[in-house]
A and B are shown apart, each in its own frame.
Chain A
Amino acid sequence: MAGRIRIRAQQKGDVTEVKALMRHPMETGQRKDQAGEPIPAHFIEEVTVTHNDTVVMHGYWGAAVSANPFLGLRFDGGVAGDTVSVAWIDNKGETGNGKTTIR
């Protein structure tokens, strides 16, 4: 279930606009289930956006980010046909990856 990313990268003039939607529960660890038991924390800790082989964004996330997070960013230097990839690692060591080409 987890691990999926939907990415789109579009060239807009000199800037590449990236939109990524990630499948993740982003549990804070603060919530309780119907039985009153705490729901264990499960959230993305690191997100990396790469253009070809260059890292264009690297971020540390925490429990304050919503479930199924939506990430939008813009960077310079992209050309149509280049590769853009997004990867995350969560607090359980699980990973998610997605890749697309700039259009």
Chain B
Amino acid sequence: MAATAPRQQGTLGSARLREALVGYAFIAVPMGIFLTFFIYPLVYSLYISRYDWGVFGKIETLGWENYREMWHDEIFWRSIKNTLLYTVVVVPVEMALALSLAVIVNAGIRGKSFFRSSFYFPSLASSAAITAIAIYILSADGLLNAVVGGQRSWFGDSDTALWSIAGLNAWTTSGTMMLFYLAALQAIPTDVYEAAAMDGAKTWRTFSRITFPLLKPGHFFVSVVAVIGALQVFDQAFIVSNGSGGPNYSTLTAVLYLYRTAIADVRFGYAATIGIALFLLIFTLTLIQRLLFGKAETA
């Protein structure tokens, strides 16, 4: 990767050795952390998943029993269904919103940094604080009902709870996604637009025929980030349902079910199994996206 720097003769061997030793010393702590808390857990998780594992460790060897149980666990499948439905809804909304905001901010308008900051603003707030605010605004006698009418508790009704979380997250993440799209928009060469202007192309036509297709790497990157984020949705579901995933399992996302299995039920073996399944799901969907977008380079 890096070119070799010219070196003095003679002491070459020992200097090289010293450089290598210094190099290892400089990365020792980070590598130790990564091996212990990232790489090793991959293997350890597989190991735990083959046991009935409680608060004090192994209880009993189960072999593949946890996997069999998961396959027949209706609540698990309900949580996967919730998560996938949520993802299918929230990702396109996030992307459309983010792209619109990016195009607006990127157009020749005055005060674009003001608008950029306003749109990014919700991305700054913590998930807990913003969820608390959403609970208040979407409560039965909250601000939203005062505007649209009705008495619905949006997070308390199993028909709307998950979609309310989707709306909340589409809003809070759009700012970050907007920044990714802005970077992608900026990467489009200016002469492309000059040529379009010369041809007398209209704004919408320029956008749909030129900008949108040229944003392919941007779409890929944003969609990967959005899908991974959506499949891992947890904080908001946890807070609105007091950690239960209710009402009636409507906000039970896959990660929330994983959390409940591990922490509330203290079934670490089974929870590890769910974690592995979730990892495979995320991994597969990311691969599929990569295939769909062809060889679009990541941003």
Verify that A and B bind, or say they do not: no
**Which B residues are within 8 Å of any A CB, using their own CB?**
none
